[in-house]
Structure 1
Amino acid sequence: MEDATTRVVGADHAGQRLDKALAALLGESRAHVQRLIDAGLVTVDGEPANKSMKPETGQTITIGTPAPVVIAPPPEVPVRWEDDHLAVVAKPADLVVHAGAGVRGPTLVDALLAQGMTLAPGEDPERPGIVHRLDRGTSGLLVVAKTPEAMLALKAMFRIHDVDRAYWALVEGLPDPAEASIDAPIVRSPRNRTTFTTGDGGRDAITHYRVETYHPVTDTTELEVTLETGRTHQVRVHMRAVGRPVAGDIAYAANTVLSRRLRLERQALHAKRLLFAHPITGEGVEVTEPLPDDLELARQRAAG
């Protein structure tokens, strides 16, 4: 092995399990050594090793160097509106907004910082500039704060629901009535802690929807959805609650056959419009974002 480390087994470690002996020889944790063995980086006298084998005195253990971890650069995030205080950006699908538990790879915050944007510091150092979020699989418009003054003002605006947010959604079936509000508290699911449901004890949540186009060939409907509150997964949870899950949203009971037919690899949900008064200048800001290619193609397939 190139750049390999070798250790000769002495009497002190002979007869011990390899992972235990090697941890002592290297001064590393046993878990670290087990990962090296599982990765095929350890041999004993030139033969592949397993962690439970017991090397003998005089045998040579060779440890290879793990390949460097290649971290993909963050994607380019389009900026649709910007001044000295804030920016409205178009988040691509499959991009997490900020770092957190279980998050791997670059985030929206990483991408914006890499593009040279200054983001206002927040209470959480991993969330500079962030005042609201979109789910990983949801594309569309997001406003971020560049100054502390804008950060405080935008957070206040979101608390009092003073930002108009509109989504495009493709759902299964035809909602009845054609225009309605869904008022149902949202709570974390007791069965799956990564998803949510409606129920007692949850946080108040109100979603408004309006039917735009029904596609009888695939029995799907395009909706315009607006939010009065901003709970995690709100649109997805509420549409499932009324029996009209967002197409492609397997986590919330979407039909897998239809998802494949539409070639959806994520929920058909897109933040298409942001409308608000600039918190510093008072200027009216309205930004719209067309469907990305994958959702436009899914829309066309839905129409038959």
Structure 2
Amino acid sequence: MIKAVKKGPILEITVPKKWAGITLNHLFQDDWHAPKKLVHEWRMSRTAGIKGRTEGWEAPLSPGDIIQLPLFYSEQPPDFAEFMDIDVLYEDDFVLVLNKPAGMDTHPSQPGDKNSLQNAAAFYLMMKGEPILPFHIHRLDKDTTGAILFAKDRLSAAILDQQLEKREVKRTYLALVHGLMKKKQGTIKEKIGSDRHHGSRRRVSASGKDAVTHYEVVKLFPEKNMTLVKCRLDTGRTHQIRVHLSFIGHPLAGDVLYGGRPILPRQALHAWNLRFPHPLTEEWIEVHAPVMDGIIPEEQN
């Protein structure tokens, strides 16, 4: 675990043994892949460096050195924040995980839009004395509930984006589907592309993008002819779980777009578990999001 501490607008990181001999340039560009604009700001302001040392960014690091970075400052547009009740699942100085309710977008689709989780997160942080624009690392459909990860600063956002691309951010969903699934577990590897006959729908398509969904039966409900399924994603295509489960003949309950019957007010899909390496400390964080509206039964242990 790497020691990373917020001190006002400054981030202080204690250099671990594994960084011995590398340079700040290497750390910023090759390890973190920090945004070029952010690195340029640090370079031009001459405020990023090693505490108590005058050497430049090409000097080798030593274990115990303290890296100081000007990282925390306001990035929030004045009209962005909006009060809404939110369920905070995890928070520290760098990341925030919220439990998104149904009927709410993850983020505004265009400037000025309100009623999104990002609006609510900005207001929550502003009321805590952190007037910043939180960065959403992934998305959920408007009527899908559950855990969404936000970063509080540009460096953490960049590192988490890379982790998501490298499939280090692990997401597990609960889905209630029509029919009794015969296989206890399986993997769906079907490419997903746009449906040219329907602007908002996706479909399995040979010309689409690779998509991999792993599923496991949690519980059968014979009296309702339904199955509770746990799904893990290797990819993050739009509507991936909804498309894949419909493709194998088990559409989500309430998901009329993909063949589900309208027996529920929304599609029965919930982002139940989120596991990821902390962008700065590298400690693994695991968060469970309880189902808030009772649409989906909680996992049976």
Q: Which moved more, 1:201-210 or 1:275-284?
A: 275-284
Partner residue, 2:280 = 280
Residues 1:178 and 2:184 are matched in the alignment: yes
Checking the alignment, whether the CA contact within 8 Å between 2:100 and 2:117 is kept in structure 1 is yes
Checking the alignment, whether the CA contact within 8 Å between 2:171 and 2:271 is kept in structure 1 is yes
Tell me the alpha carbon deviations over residues 94-125 of structure 1, each in whole angstroms, 9 at most, x when there is no partner: 1001111699641111111111255876xxxx
Amino acid at match of 1:277: P
Q: Superposed, which structure 2 residues align to 1:3-42 within 5 Å?
A: none
Q: CA deviation at 1:200?
A: 1.6
Amino acid at match of 1:285: I
Partner residue, 1:228 = 234
RMSD (Å) for aligned C-alpha atoms = 2.0
For structure 2, the 5+ residue unaligned runs are 1-81
Partner residue, 1:66 = none
Structure 1 Cα separation of the partners of residues 109 and 101 of structure 2: 18
Structure 2 Cα separation of the partners of residues 134 and 168 of structure 1: 13
Other structure's SS at 1:171 match: strand
Q: Per the alignment, do residues 88 and 247 of structure 1 end up closer, same or farther by CA in structure 2, a change over 3 Å counting?
A: same
Other structure's SS at 1:217 match: helix
Amino acid at match of 1:265: P
Q: Superposed, which structure 2 residues align to 1:1-304 within 5 Å?
A: 74-100=83-109, 105-117=114-126, 128-256=134-262, 259=263, 264-296=264-296, 299=297
Other structure's SS at 1:295 match: coil
Amino acid at match of 2:265: E
Structure 1 Cα separation of the partners of residues 131 and 102 of structure 2: 21
Other structure's SS at 1:195 match: strand
For structure 1, the 5+ residue unaligned runs are 1-72, 122-127
Other structure's SS at 2:149 match: strand
Other structure's SS at 1:214 match: strand
Amino acid at match of 1:198: V
Amino acid at match of 2:118: V
Structure 1 Cα separation of the partners of residues 282 and 97 of structure 2: 16
Instruction: Work out which of the two has the higher radius of gyration on C-alpha atoms and give 1 or 2.
Output: 1
Structure 2 Cα separation of the partners of residues 275 and 188 of structure 1: 29
Other structure's SS at 2:224 match: coil
Q: TM-score, normalised by structure 2?
A: 0.67
Tell me the alpha carbon deviations over residues 116-150 of structure 1, each in whole angstroms, 9 at most, x when there is no partner: 255876xxxxxx50110000000000110101111
Q: CA deviation at 1:280?
A: 0.6
Other structure's SS at 1:95 match: coil
Task: Give the number of the structure with larger relative contact order, counting CA–CA contacts within 8 Å between residues 6 or more apart.
Answer: 2
Amino acid at match of 2:175: A
Q: CA deviation at 1:87?
A: 0.8
Structure 1 Cα separation of the partners of residues 159 and 270 of structure 2: 25
Amino acid at match of 1:132: H
Q: CA deviation at 1:75?
A: 2.4
Other structure's SS at 1:116 match: helix
Other structure's SS at 1:239 match: helix
Structure 2 Cα separation of the partners of residues 89 and 294 of structure 1: 18
Identity between Structure 1 and Structure 2 (%): 35
Runs of 4+ in structure 1 deviating by more than 6 angstroms, as ranges, are none
Q: Per the alignment, do residues 230 and 222 of structure 1 end up closer, same or farther by CA in structure 2, a change over 3 Å counting?
A: same
Checking the alignment, whether the CA contact within 8 Å between 1:96 and 1:103 is kept in structure 2 is no
